[in-house]
Amino acid sequence: MQCNRLLKLTKSWYLNVVDETMAPARMVAFMEQHIASCDICQNDPDLQKELAKITEIVLPESKIPKAVRMQQAQDDEEEADDIENDENENGDIEDEEDEDDEI
């Protein structure tokens, strides 16, 4: 986050969320409003990723928009497939072939 004002506001809003004096969705909305009106925030290339992380932390699963949840699920599936493919490339295939020979 390059904008010091957004950083200070976010900390303040988060403390309000923790104290339950502000709804988490309102905090995210305030952050989005600030980003839309701030030149520094609009030019920050990493801000959208950071906003997504903060939203994931602050908002309960049921309050995250369905499209975002679907995208996260798809990303998780792709990551699991990549891990599985890496394991297969590292020798798991040989183990399966050995099992076939025993039968």
Query: Are 42 and 76 contained in the same domain?
Result: no
Domain of 16 in residue numbering reads as: 1-63
The count of other CB atoms within 10 Å of the CB of residue 73 is 10
Q: pTM for this one?
A: 0.57
Which residues of the chain, if any, have pLDDT below 50? Answer: 92-93
Residue 54 and residue 71 in one domain: no
Based on the fold, state whether residues 56 and 80 are members of the same structural domain. no
| 48 plus 98 within the same structural domain | no
Residue 53 CA from chain centroid, whole number = 4
**Tens of pLDDT along 56-85?**
888 876 555 565 656 667 777 777 666 766
- Shared domain check, 73 and 55: no
Q: Judge if 40 and 55 occupy the same domain.
A: yes
Domain co-membership, 4 together with 50: yes
Furthest-apart CA pair in the chain: how many Å? 68
The CA-to-CA distance between both ends of the chain, in Å, stands at 59
Q: Which residue has the tokens 């809003």?
A: 13
Examine the domain organization and report whether 20 and 51 are in the same domain.
yes
Q: What amino acid is encoded at 32 in this protein?
A: E
